[in-house]
Amino acid sequence: MSLKFEPRREIPAWLVYGTPLLAVALTILSGYFLFMILGLNPGATLYIFLVSPLETQFGLAELAVKAGPLILIATGLAIGFRANVWNIGAEGQLTMGAIFGAGIALAFWGEEGFWILPLMFVAGALGGMMWAAIPAFLKTRFEVSEILTSLMLTYVATLVLSILVHGPWRDPEGFNFPQSRLFTEAAILPVILEGTRLHAGAFVSLFAAVAAWVLLTHTVTGFQVKVVGQAPMAARFAGFSQKGTVWFSLLLAGALAGLAGMIEVAGPIGQLTPQLTPGYGFTAIIVAFLGRLNPLGIILAGLVMAISYIGGENAQVYAQLPQAATGVFQGMLLFYLLASDFLVRYRVRFQSTKARDAKPRPEVAAA
Amino acid sequence: MLNRRQFGLSVAGTAAALGVGPMVGRAIAADKLKVGFVYVGPVSDHGYSYQHDLGRKHVAEHFGDRVETTYVENVAEGPDTERVINQLAAGGCGLIFTTSFGFMNPTLKVAQRFPKVKFEHATGYKRAANVATYSGRFYEGRTVCGLIAGKLTKSNIIGYIGSFPIPEVVSGINAFTLALRSVNPQAQVRVVWVNSWYDPGKEAAAAKALIDQGADILSQHTDSPAPIQEAEARGIYAFGQSSDMSRFGPKAHLTSIVDDWTPYYIQRVQAVLDGTWKSEDYWGGLATGTVILPPFNPSIPEDVRALATKAVEDIKSGALHPFTGPIKDQSGKVVVAEGKTATDPEILSMAYYVEGVQGTLPK
C-alpha cells in the first residue's frame, strides 16, 4: 500500500468554499481541547481569540492597521509566485522603503508642505524597488537564485537601518538612544477615524489588491505572468519574455513592500527605529498562499491573519494565556487552512504497489 | 482547573470592557485595581523581563484580592506596541507598567487617549501628567563588580558584552572601568556590542571572542545567561545581569547585578489605591533595594569580599559616588573635575568612554 496524491481535474464549487469553513471548525474544535487542557474556560477563550478583536471600533481599526501591510506585501509577492519568481526578501524591501521614506521625512523635518507625504510614497516605493532590483539583475544576468539573494539582502537592509539609527539619523535630543526624531505632522499619515489608529494606508492596501486582481484577470501583462509561471515553454513560443517577467514581478513586489514599510513609519510608528516590523515581510508569504495567490483572497487572508494576531494578544491580556499557547493556536489555524487547501486541489489515494505499476496515473510528489 | 475562578472574573471584566468600552473598564477598576505589565522579552528569559514579572507576582501576593494583575510578554518594539498597551487600558487596567525603552512613544500616545489611567514607563525620559518614569542606578552595582574584577584579574583584560550604546549601558561600562582601575591601574576593558537585549547566540559568540582575546573576567549588559555559561565552560569568571545567574555557572559566577522592582511596584500600586499617585521620575539604586547584589561567590578571597561589601555600604550611605572626579575620557580630557561628582543629567546622557576602555564608542 502506498499513499498517493493526484490532482483533481475538476474542483467542485462546494469544496472550494466549504473547506475554509471546515478548517475554521477544526481549529475551533482543537482550540477547545487545547484551552481545556490548559485549565481555561474553552468557550470564553475562543470567544476572546476569534470574536473580541471585532467587537469595538478600536479593534476593527486595529484589524485594518495590522492587515494593511500584510495585504499590500502579499499582493506583490503573489504576482511573483504566479510567475515562479520566489521573492523571499520582502522584509528587506520593506525596510529599504521605510528608510527611503524616513529619509524624506527627516530631510524636511519641521517643514510644512502638502508635497512631503506624496514624495515619501514615491521614495518608499523606489527604495523597495531598488532593493528588489538586485536579485532581479542577478537572476536575469547570472542565473543566481532569487530565493537566496532576496533573503540575504533582508539582513543587509536591517543592518543599514541599524547604522542609520545608531549614527547619522539618531535623534540629536534623544540621549544617544538608537532611534530617529519623531516625524513632524507633514510627514505623518492622517488618522481617519478619531480615537483609533486607522490611517490612509489601509486604503492603499485595498486599492493595490483590487488593482492587482484587475491586472491578473483583465490584462495581457497578467496573462503573461501566469503563462510564464505555468508553462514556460508555451510562454517562449508566444514570445513572452521570461526575463521581462522576472524584472516586472520583482520590481512590483519590491515597490509594494517598500510602500508598506514607508506607510508603517509614517503611520503607526511615526519615526525610524531599529526594529520596524514584527516580520511582516515573512508573514506576508503565508498570507499570499492562504489567499490562494489571488489578490481578493489575500484581502481575506490578511484579515484572518490579523484576527489571529490581535486575538492572541487579547487572549494574553484577558485570559492570561501564555504567549506560546497563542502561537500554537495560530499555527493550528494556518495548518488546517493550508492543509484543506491542498486537499481541495489533490485527491488522496491509497493503492497497492502492484496496481500503481500496472496503471500509471498522473501523479505529484507528496509536497 | 485551578485558574477557573480567577479566569471567570477576568472574563466578566473582558466582556464588559470589550462590549461597552473603556467606561465600564473604569467602573471595575474602582473596586479592584487592575494592573497591567508589558514585557519586551519572554518571562522565561531569566533576566530582565523575568525580574519584572517577579515584581508583578509579588504585587499580586502583597495586595491579594485588592489587585488583579495581567501581562503581555514578548511584545515587539514597533507598530504592535501601541495596540497592546491600548488593549490593557481599554480592558480596565488602572495602572500599566511598560517595561522597555522602545515602548516610550507608544506609551505616551495611549496615555493621551486614556487620561484617567496611570502609566509607568521604565528607562525612558519622556513624562506626562499620567506617565511616570522609573529606572535603576545599575551603575552602582557595576562599581562593586569593577572593584572585584580589578582584584581578581590576572590577564588585566576584562571582556564586556554590551547591548546598545545608550547612556544606561555606557554609564555602566564607565562605572565598572573607573572602579576596576582604582584598584588595578593596568587593567583594560574591551567592549563588544551585540545590538540586542536578548540574543543567547550572539552573546555566546561575543563571550567566546572576548575570551579568545585574553579576557579572564566577563561582564555583560545583556539579559541571557549565555555568557555565564560560556565563562563556566572556559573556566573563567563572569558577572551576571538582571537576575541571580549563579545557577548557570556556579564556579564562574562572581555576583550579578539584580534588578529588584518589587519595592517600587508595591509602592506605586499602593499610591494608586490611596489616590496619591503622581507622575515622577524614580531612579532607585542600592540604597532603595532596586539594585541588589546576590551573595558573592565563595571563591572570592576575604579581603576582596570586604572591599566589595564596604563599597556597597558606602554607596548606600552616600559616602561613595561611583562618578567622583577627576574623571578623564579616552582622549584625556577631564569630564568631571576633581572634588566633583557627575550629576544625574550627566549620567543620563553619558556618551563617552572613560580612560581604560579600549575601542571607540559607536556614534
- Whether residue A141 is contained in a domain is answered as yes
Closest Cβ–Cβ partner in B8, B73, B76 for A41? B8
Whether B195 contacts chain A with CB within 8 A: yes
Cβ-Cβ contacts under 8 Å, A322 against chain B: 73
Interface of A with B in 40-99 (CB under 8 A): 40-41, 44, 48, 52, 55-56, 58-59, 62, 65-66
pLDDT tops 80 at residue A363? no
Interface test with A, best of B2, B4, B14, B135 (most A CBs within 10 A): B14
- Whether residue A13 is contained in a domain is answered as no
Measure the CA–CA gap between B53 and B262, rounded to whole angstroms.
9
User: What's the ipTM?
Assistant: 0.76
Asked if B125 lies within 8 A of A175 by C-beta distance, the reply is yes
Please confirm whether the linkage preceding B326 is cis (ω < 30° from 0).
yes
- The number of folded domains in chain A is 1
Would you state the pLDDT for residue B23? 35
Cβ-Cβ contacts under 8 Å, B351 against chain A: 176
Would you state the pLDDT for residue B363? 66
Q: What is the mean pLDDT of residues A123-152?
A: 96
- Whether residue A7 is contained in a domain is answered as no
In terms of CA atoms, which chain A residue is nearest residue B4? A40
Q: Scanning the structure block, which residue is given the C-alpha cell 541571557?
A: B224
Interface of B with A in 157-186 (CB under 8 A): 164-167, 170
Q: Which residue has the higher pLDDT, A178 or B262?
A: B262
Would you state the pLDDT for residue B152? 96
Segment A274-305, tens digit of pLDDT: 888 888 999 999 999 888 899 999 999 999 99
- Whether residue A92 is contained in a domain is answered as yes
Asked if A48 lies within 8 A of B125 by C-beta distance, the reply is no
Residue A14: what residue type? W
Say if residues B229 and B206 touch (Cβ distance below 8 Å).
no
- Whether residue A358 is contained in a domain is answered as no
Whether A162 contacts chain B with CB within 8 A: yes
Per-residue pLDDT band for A237 (boundaries 50, 70, 90) equals confident
Segment B7-46, tens digit of pLDDT: 333 444 444 334 333 333 334 445 789 999 999 888 887 8
**Structural domain range at position A113:** 69-290
Per-residue pLDDT band for B286 (boundaries 50, 70, 90) equals very high
Would you state the pLDDT for residue A320? 82
Closest Cβ–Cβ partner in B83, B164, B362 for A62? B83
- Whether residue A119 is contained in a domain is answered as yes
Which positions ≥6 away from A302 have C-beta within 8 Å?
A67, A68, A70, A71, A74, A205, A287, A291
Q: What is the mean pLDDT of residues B171-181?
A: 96
Interface of A with B in 234-293 (CB under 8 A): 264, 267-271, 273-278
- Whether residue A94 is contained in a domain is answered as yes
Interface test with B, best of A183, A196, A317 (most B CBs within 10 A): A317
Domains belonging to chain B, first-starting first, are: 4-136 (3.40.50.2300), 140-258+291-358 (3.40.50.2300)
CA torsion A156-A162-A164-A165 (nearest 10°) is 160
Asked if A274 lies within 8 A of B14 by C-beta distance, the reply is no
pTM for the predicted model, two decimal places: 0.80
Tell me how far the alpha carbon of residue A185 is from its chain's centroid. Answer: 28
Per DSSP, the three-state class of A170 is coil
Whether B325 contacts chain A with CB within 8 A: no
Measure the CA–CA gap between B28 and B23, rounded to whole angstroms.
9
